[in-house]
Chain A
Amino acid sequence: MGPNRTYLLIAPAMLVIGIFMVLPLFLAVAYSFMTANPYGGVTAPETFDAYLQFLYQRDFDDSLVFSPSYALIILRSIYLAIATTLICLVLGLPVAWYIVCQTPERRRVLLFAVTLPFWINTLIRTYCWILILRDEGLANGALRHAGIISNPLPLLYNDGSILLGLVYTFLPFMVLPIYSTLERIDPRLIEAAHDLYASRAAVFRRIVWPLARPGALAGATLVFAPALGSFLAPDLLGGGKKLLIGSLIQMQFTSSRNWPFGAALSTVVTVVVLTVFVIRSRKAQEERR
């Protein structure tokens, strides 16, 4: 097959990627260098104002004053995304391992159960957590009935509930790639390790974990990236008291009508995620060598 035919065959895919991925990304970067139109959208002239806004606030006399509040939002978002990733890893690994150890039929059922939440809208599922966690909700009600507490615990509208929502939403993205790597491990390897005097802990540390790590890294990427940009869980379960970057971006395109700033924030998030991704793939390559 000549090179021309090859290009023709991949053309549809390239077209889709171009229109739905490259073009919007390019637009977002372009918008971030323009001036906000108070009625939404952007106008000329091109400036760096949107990026300056991260660290400085424009005072009434047009002088720039240092203001870390946006930077803090970004840092807090990164921190919560990392925490989400780690919790998902700690919870997802045993779940994936448990599923791998089952009979093929039970595996199918359990894998379906893992993906079951995808069939219900994320908004509805997240909203349900409010019903569970609020002062008159299921959790507090149950605890009160059991006589463990007399006054409701503040379960909702804090970092803990945001984290809970994020972990709940993204856990399947950790379980599935780890499962797929664990499934490929030859059970004979585990027998061989036991045969060579390895305890269960040593088998995990020396055999299972090194072989599962590619899946765990893939899962970590799949959880970290959307968790960083997520705005549903932070808005609903965080009560919107403390902004996270996802909500902040969303606000710029809606109520604040500051498209350039929103675009600039998106660009920063993209750069952060891409940086993490590049570092990870570099590391993976080094390990393979």
Chain B
Amino acid sequence: MIDIQSVSKSFVTRDADPVRALNEVSLEIFDNEFFTLLGPSGCGKTTLLRLIAGFEAPSSGAIRIAGSDVAALPPQKRPVNTVFQSYALFPHMSVAENVAFGLEMQNAPKSLIDERVREALEMVRLEGFATRRPAQLSGGQQQRVAVARALAPKPSVLLLDEPLSALDLKLRKGMQSELKRLQRETGITFVLVTHDQEEALAMSDGIAVMRSGDVLQVGTPRDIYDNPQDRFVADFIGESNLLPGALLGRDPAKTIVVRPEHIVVSPASDDATGHARGAVSAITFLGSDTLYEIVLEEGARLQSRSRGRAALATGDRVVVDWARDVERELAN
């Protein structure tokens, strides 16, 4: 659906060298996919989204949407609609007028517009709000209007720029499953930008993890969680223990990555075996789980997460162990 070929983008600034926001990024996003660009702020994910939308032009490289090169097309000529982080609803128009705008601009007949507006508002569960102004809606409702407005023209691709970041936690969780449902119902390719790894794991079919203008890894959520190819990815996605190889008597040029839930902690006794020994320094109650913080004899710290209530106490001497097949060896 979207084919991004070695796209670079530099921004010229007044007082410094050009800032490189994207370095030769290549990506393929498939039809009917919920794809997420994930990374910390400043990683270039929003820039990439704006390049797909057409608000910015790439410094080099090619972007193809549905097979055709869109380099020369302005945003109004691309079969792509955007849900903005700030929603960018037109304040002087009613909810229905906002949703109808895209179709009107395409000169759709009045009957079709009315039908699609009704459909779109139904989809986001705002049927009763057609005549309201955006200012009369809550943040969550405005967000739904923004989604309805972008979906009403039935674009090939829907771009979402951190659409949930302004909502509180509960609303955010609700909207996550809403968006997922909308994506399945409409069959439109969604491209989501977020810095929230949990959100990305929960919603996406495919994820590209980005950092300072580079795509570090592309894969399914499970793939990225289980097989991080990079220290940064391992650290950024979920919780990870990054242990220096030297500490475990292995190749000092490698880092050993183990997820907290894979680490087994048992009381230290003479016959207990494991990868390392240490002491419990803190215990955190997480409801269904317990999180142990352990200081190893060699000085490193690690976290272990196990089901159920705490069986150990702070200060207890322990042995930590994990199965060899759950650890990943990455270059430092």
Question: Taking beta carbons and an 8 Å cutoff, which residues of A are in contact with B?
Answer: 186, 188-189, 191-199, 202, 206-207, 210-211
Distance A8 CA – B149 CA, assembled complex (angstroms): 52
A-contact 0/1 string along B82-119, CB 8 Å cutoff? 10101011111000000001100110000000000000
Q: Which residue from B54, B74, B80, B82 sits with its C-beta under 8 Å from A192?
A: B82
State whether A195 touches B76 (Cβ < 8 A): yes
- Counting CB contacts under 8 A, is B153 at the interface? yes
Q: Which of the listed residues B86, B105, B149 has the most CB atoms from chain A within 10 Å of its own CB?
A: B105
Top 6 nearest A-B pairs (CB, nearest first) are A196-B102, A188-B88, A197-B105, A192-B88, A194-B75, A198-B105
Roughly how many angstroms separate A188 CA and B86 CA in the complex, as a whole number? Answer: 8
Q: Contact between B75 and A191 (Cβ–Cβ < 8 Å)? A: yes
Q: Does B295 contact A (CB under 8 A)?
A: no
Rounded to whole Å, the gap between the CB of B149 and the closest CB of chain A is: 7
Q: Tell me, in angstroms, the Cα distance from A210 to B86 when the chains sit together.
A: 20
Q: Which of B74, B91, B92, B150 is close to A194, meaning CB atoms less than 8 Å apart?
A: B74
Residues of A within 8 A of B256 (CB): none
Give complex CA distance A196, B79 in Å.
Answer: 9
A82 to chain B, nearest CB (A): 26
A210 to chain B: closest residue by CB:
B92
How far, in whole Å, are A202 and B76 apart by their CA atoms in the complex?
11
The interface residues of chain B lying within 8 Å CB-to-CB of A206 are: 90, 101
Kindly list chain A residues whose C-beta atoms are within 8 Å of the C-beta of B90: 189, 192-193, 206-207
Q: Is the CB of A189 within 8 A of B149?
A: no
Known: A202-B105, A211-B91. A197 touches B84 (CB 8 A): no
Given A186-B86, A191-B75, A206-B101, is A197 in contact with B92 using a C-beta cutoff of 8 Å?
A: no
Q: Once bound together, how far apart are the Cα atoms of A211 and B76, in whole Å?
A: 21
Q: Which residues of B contact A188 (CB under 8 A)?
A: 84, 86, 88
Determine which of B53, B55, B86, B101 lies in contact with A198 in the assembled complex, contact meaning CB atoms within 8 Å: B101
Across-interface contacts of B92 in A (CB, < 8 A): 210-211
> Does B47 make an interface contact (CB < 8 A)?
no
Task: Tally B residues with Cβ within 8 Å of A.
Answer: 24
Further 7 A-B residue pairs, CB within 8 A, beyond A194-B74, A198-B76: A195-B81, A195-B150, A196-B149, A196-B153, A199-B105, A206-B90, A211-B91
- Per the bound structure, the CA–CA distance linking A193 and B84 in Å amounts to 12
Pick the residue among A189, A194, A207, A210 that contacts B76 (CB under 8 A): A194
CA distance A211 to B92 in the complex (A): 7
Q: A149 to nearest B CB, angstroms?
A: 45
**Once bound together, how far apart are the Cα atoms of A160 and B223, in whole Å?**
76
Q: Is the CB of B88 within 8 A of A197?
A: no
B105 x A192 contact (CB < 8 A)? no
Tell me whether A197 and B74 are in contact in the complex, defined as CB-CB below 8 angstroms, given that A191-B88, A192-B88, A210-B92 are known contacts: no
B88 touches A189 (CB 8 A): yes
Most buried by A among B76, B84, B92: B76
Q: What B residues does A199 contact at CB under 8 A? A: 76, 105
Known contacts A202-B105, A206-B101, A210-B92: A195-B75 contact under CB 8 Å: yes
Interface residues of B in 26-61 (CB under 8 A from A): 53-55
Please report the C-alpha to C-alpha distance between residue A189 and residue B89 in the assembled complex, in whole angstroms.
7
Chain A residue at smallest Cβ distance from B146: A192
Contacts of B75 in A (CB 8 A): 191, 194-195
Q: In the complex, which of the residues A186, A191, A196 contacts B101, with contact meaning CB atoms closer than 8 Å?
A: A196
**Measured CA separation A188–B81 after assembly (Å):** 13
Q: Contacts A196-B153, A207-B90, A210-B92; is A191 near B55 (CB within 8 Å)?
A: yes
Closest to B81 in A: A195
Flag if B55 contacts A197 (CB, 8 Å).
no
Residues in A whose Cβ lies below 8 Å from that of B89 = 192
- Could you say which residues of chain B place their CB within 8 Å of the CB of A194? 54-55, 74-76
> Residues of A contacting B101 with CB < 8 Å?
193, 196, 198, 206
Q: How far is the CA of A202 from the CA of B106 in the complex (A)?
A: 11
Residue of A196, A197, A206, A207 with most chain B CB atoms under a 10 A cut-off: A196
Bound-complex Cα distance A199 to B75 (A): 9
The minimal Cβ–Cβ distance linking B143 to chain A, given in whole angstroms, is 14
Q: How far is the CB of A106 from chain B (nearest CB, A)?
A: 11
Kindly state the separation between the CA atoms of A188 and B84 in the bound complex, as whole angstroms: 8
What would be 5 A-B contacts, judged by CB atoms less than 8 Å apart?
A192-B84, A195-B80, A195-B81, A198-B101, A198-B105
